[in-house]
Amino acid sequence: MFKNRDWFVLGIVGGVALVLAYWGFSRCVGAACTPEPPWKLFEKSLHLVQGRGSFSVGTDPWQLVVAQYLVPGVAVLAAAKLFLLSLRRDIRVAFARKSSNHTVVVGLSETGRHIVDNLRNAGERVVAIDLDSESPAAAACAHAGVPVLKGDATNAKILRSAGAHRAKAIVASTGNDSTNLEISLRANDLGGTRQLVVLPELRASWLRNTITHHQRAALGSTQVEVRPFNTSDNCARLLYRSPALARRRTSFAFAPPRILLLGLGETGEAIVEQGLRTAFAVPGELPEFLVVDEHASARLSSCETRLPGLLHVAAVRCFDRTLGPDPNSWTAVNDIVATERPEAVIVAIGGDELNLSIATHIRRRLDWDRQLTTPVFVEVRQIRRLGEFTSRLEHIGPLTDRVVPFGDLAYLTSMPILFENRIDDLARAHHAIYLTSQQSDGHVNSPAAVPWERLPEVYKQSSRRFADHISAKMRASGLRLRPSKEPRRLDFSIEEIERLAECEHWRWIVEHRLSGWQRDDERDDSRLLHPHLVAWTDLPEQVRELNRTVVRKLPDLLASVGIEVRRERALPAVDSRGIELAMERLQARIGHAQGEHLVIVVDPLLEASRKLMTMAQTTADTSVWLLLREKMLTALAHVPEDETAAGVEGWLSEKEFAAMTAAPPHAADRERPEPSLKPAATTA
């Protein structure tokens, strides 16, 4: 296979040269000429490679005159090119062996190729290892200046040849989970002197479950940090961070989660699991998933096998419907959309084109039923630009997140996502708190009572899920997170601490239920029995206080990664008096540090709201929400996108607005007129 056009051109020129030589030798001039067999003519043509031809113009056939220079010339160019290619490859291999502080990518699968491209675009040094160094992906890497070593990376010698013992990271994405895990385990034997992060891609759910549920085995060591990753899990995690879903998880606009999920494949299962463990892991609300799939019931049974307590923490209804390229099959979801009125629709059926087609059909059906604010999320792995274009076509007025593409593979394998350290930093800090509490209580025999480096993967994952759930428990408690270069500590009120602790206990219950744990008076880890799988009010006071201790330290933990906690305060501004108060409040906030995030609810039909919205968008720690009255929904379909409304964060229905204004004052407001801010303590 040609690696580039140079070889193609050389091949054509060389072929022409040989044809000319054969043609010239075949011409028989003179009476004494004796015709020679074809093989003899071809042999004489090849001998011209030696450059010993002595043919001259006028006495010999012109074909031979040309061929005597062209044949050896092509041979010399080809030999020089081969020499240069070999020399360049040898130099790169030599540099790879001497490289340090680089990333080794094992396997040039689709995922691995994207990872290499993203690392190169970020200016990182990369060395690739693959079993086939002549594949198109390997040729593309070599052309981009990435050394590609041929070999089996489960062999420690191959890893050392890539300088893995001096690397800062190894990404194993061979397409085979067992091989990826074997490479990760062998990385512990490299004997490097620096901290090494190993990222094995694990796609098979059974293997991930085996690793993440074992309470004794640890993948890494003191020098090697192993972080298994899965693109579907990352896809689901980013989906729930989307503003279109997060806006419905606030304390004053907390909609019961009812998700219409089209497709229960690998991505669909990850969406259900991630939602239960993070975004929907809040006490008081039972999330509901309406699953539409050709084999929905069978796949739900398979999902229950992996997540035994699924139906204890969620309501799942299955609709066995086939959604294919035929548009007539899409009408199967029309009645579901109309009667169930989901909070959000997620399309993850199959290919990108099919997903986009079904998503646009559902968008039209939702609009026909006046569900204009219900977002439709559509999985597009390869055609991100087309997904974004389709999303822009569905913007109406202030409603922009009506079709939201997600799952772009290039983004899922980018450095900020693949090497996200913030979650691990928070998880480590959380585990340190746990160790301190265990030592103070004298519980030193627990398999989790070990340093992070020797911690079994099941407990590392638990701490990571704790960190991933922080945003959900904060929003449900009327608190917000924001990045800050100099984060300041917010003192939680008693009610906030109680609510946060209750949310954390519920997250813990969900985590254990999904792993198959049951409630019993005596703890038995081998039989998955635990006495604390009870409601918050039934929990022993000592255990409740442990949860309170954990959440009290959240401001300091978040400050250690540059995040600040702000109290959320909703301010209605839907009449002249409310708008006047909101303007005064915004004027007072300009230039002054506050410990709150102000949410101003405006009526977009009021002309005075325009100035207020513009002012709010330029004020720090301020968001704008719209009050969408029923009579406005029909008119919105004909309203062009408004630049003033581009910064709108969310919206409330009339029912939600009435509930918000009828709610009692915030507990923190009753305790102190102004929030207390203190410099955040430094976390070791």
Does 248 reside within a domain?
A: yes
Same domain, 449 and 372: no
How do residues 295-328 score in pLDDT, each as one tens digit?
A: 999 999 999 988 999 999 999 999 999 988 888 8
How do residues 168-180 score in pLDDT, each as one tens digit?
A: 999 999 989 999 9
What's the confidence (pLDDT) of residue 2?
40
Residues 381, 581: Cα–Cα separation, whole Å: 47
| E strand map for 51-195 | 103-106, 126-130, 148-150, 169-172
pTM for this predicted structure: 0.83
How do residues 406-449 score in pLDDT, each as one tens digit?
A: 999 999 999 989 887 788 888 888 888 888 877 766 655 677 78
Does 648 reside within a domain?
A: yes
Q: Which of 54, 61, 71 is nearest to 19 (CA)?
A: 71
CA angle in degrees (0–180, nearest 5) for 367-371-372: 65
User: Could you tell me the two tokens for 223?
Assistant: 């020098």
Amino acid found at 303: C
581 versus 88: which is more confidently predicted?
Answer: 581
Does 134 reside within a domain?
A: yes
**Range with the lowest mean pLDDT among 3-17, 93-107, 492-506?**
3-17
What's the confidence (pLDDT) of residue 5?
67
Same domain, 320 and 464: no
How do residues 450-470 score in pLDDT, each as one tens digit?
A: 888 888 888 888 898 999 999
Residues 475, 561: Cα–Cα separation, whole Å: 19
Residue 496 has pLDDT above 90, yes or no: yes
What's the confidence (pLDDT) of residue 678?
44
Last residue of a domain, one of 176, 208, 232: 232
Residues 150, 631: Cα–Cα separation, whole Å: 66
**Range with the lowest mean pLDDT among 181-185, 523-527, 604-608?**
604-608
Q: What is the DSSP string of 383-408?
A: -HHHHHHHHHHT-BTTB-TTEEEE--
Share of the chain above pLDDT 90, in %: 34
Same domain, 502 and 446: yes
Average pLDDT over residues 147-168: 88
Average pLDDT over residues 136-142: 84
Residue 683 has pLDDT above 50, yes or no: no
Same domain, 593 and 616: yes
Amino acid found at 429: A
Last residue of a domain, one of 543, 559, 575: 559
Average pLDDT, the chain: 83
| E strand map for 206-296 | 224-226, 258-262, 288-293
* Greatest C-alpha distance within the chain: 121
377 versus 36: which is more confidently predicted?
Answer: 377
Q: Which of 242, 234, 334, 354 is nearest to 292 (CA)?
A: 334
Residue 198: helix, strand or coil by DSSP? strand
Average pLDDT over residues 645-671: 66
Does 91 reside within a domain?
A: no
Average pLDDT over residues 55-72: 77
Residue 645 has pLDDT above 60, yes or no: no
DSSP letter, residue 592: S
Does 138 reside within a domain?
A: yes
Sheet holding 196-200, edge to edge: 148-150, 126-130, 103-106, 169-172, 196-200, 224-226
Q: CB-hemisphere CA count at 13 Å for 651?
A: 26
- Residue 293: pLDDT band (50, 70, 90) is very high
What's the confidence (pLDDT) of residue 342?
92
288-293 and 479-483: which strand pairing?
unpaired
Residues 629, 601: Cα–Cα separation, whole Å: 12
Alpha-carbon Rg for the chain, nearest whole angstrom, is 32
* Structural domain containing residue 208: 99-232
Same domain, 530 and 451: yes
What's the confidence (pLDDT) of residue 69?
77
Contact between residue 196 and residue 167 where contact means Cβ atoms under 8 Å apart = yes
What's the confidence (pLDDT) of residue 90?
66
Counting the structural domains of the chain, the total is: 5
Residues 431, 255: Cα–Cα separation, whole Å: 32
Does 94 reside within a domain?
A: no
Same domain, 282 and 411: yes
Same domain, 166 and 247: no
Residue 44 has pLDDT above 60, yes or no: yes
CATH label of the domain that carries residue 127: 3.40.50.720
Does 90 reside within a domain?
A: no
What's the confidence (pLDDT) of residue 29?
54
How do residues 226-264 score in pLDDT, each as one tens digit?
A: 889 999 999 999 999 888 887 666 666 566 689 999 999
Same domain, 581 and 531: no
Same domain, 213 and 256: no
Residue 679 has pLDDT above 50, yes or no: no
What's the confidence (pLDDT) of residue 667?
43
Q: Which of 434, 440, 431, 547 is nearest to 499 (CA)?
A: 547
CATH label of the domain that carries residue 615: 3.40.1260
What's the confidence (pLDDT) of residue 284?
80
Residue 361 has pLDDT above 90, yes or no: yes
47 versus 492: which is more confidently predicted?
Answer: 492
Report the range out of 40-49, 183-192, 319-328 with the highest average pLDDT: 319-328
Same domain, 425 and 551: yes
Does 93 reside within a domain?
A: no
CA angle in degrees (0–180, nearest 5) for 126-128-132: 160
Same domain, 247 and 395: yes
Residues 164, 196: Cα–Cα separation, whole Å: 9
Amino acid found at 661: T
Q: What is the DSSP string of 616-667?
A: HHTSTTEEEEEEE-HHHHHHHTTPPPPSGGGG--EEEEHHHHHHHHHSPPPH
Same domain, 37 and 146: no
Residue 592 has pLDDT above 60, yes or no: no
Residue 117 has pLDDT above 90, yes or no: yes
Amino acid found at 396: I
Say which residues have a Cβ less than 8 Å from residue 312's Cβ, sequence separation at least 6.
513
User: Could you tell me the two tokens for 72?
Assistant: 């050896």
Last residue of a domain, one of 202, 232, 262: 232
User: Could you tell me the two tokens for 302?
Assistant: 């398979």
Average pLDDT over residues 374-391: 92
Beta bridge partners of 292: 262, 319
Please tell me the chain's helix, strand, coil percentages from 3-state DSSP, rounded to the nearest 5: 50, 15, 35
Q: What is the DSSP string of 407-457?
A: --HHHHTSHHHHT--HHHHHHHHHHHHHHHHHHHHT---STT-S-GGG--H
User: Could you tell me the two tokens for 470?
Assistant: 């922080």
What's the confidence (pLDDT) of residue 266?
92
Residues 589, 149: Cα–Cα separation, whole Å: 59
